[in-house]
Amino acid sequence: MSTEVVHPYIAYSKEIGNCRPIIAGTRTKVSNIIAYHKLGLSPEELAREFPHLTLSQIYDALSYYYEHREEIDREIDEDSEDSIKSSL
Residue 64 lies in a domain: yes
- pLDDT at residue 14 in the model: 87
Q: Which residue segment(s) compose the domain that 54 sits in?
A: 10-87
Count of domains for the chain? 1
Residue 32 lies in a domain: yes
- pLDDT at residue 83 in the model: 58
- pLDDT at residue 48 in the model: 97
Q: pLDDT per residue over 4-51, tens digit each?
A: 789 999 999 888 878 899 999 999 999 999 999 999 999 999 999 999
Rg over CA atoms, the chain: 13
Query: What sign has the CA pseudo-torsion 15, 17, 56, 54?
Result: negative
Residue 3 lies in a domain: no
- pLDDT at residue 82 in the model: 59
68 neighbors 60 (Cβ within 8 angstroms) = no
16 neighbors 27 (Cβ within 8 angstroms) = yes
Spatial distance between the Cα atoms of 76 and 47, rounded to a whole number of angstroms: 20
Residue 77 lies in a domain: yes
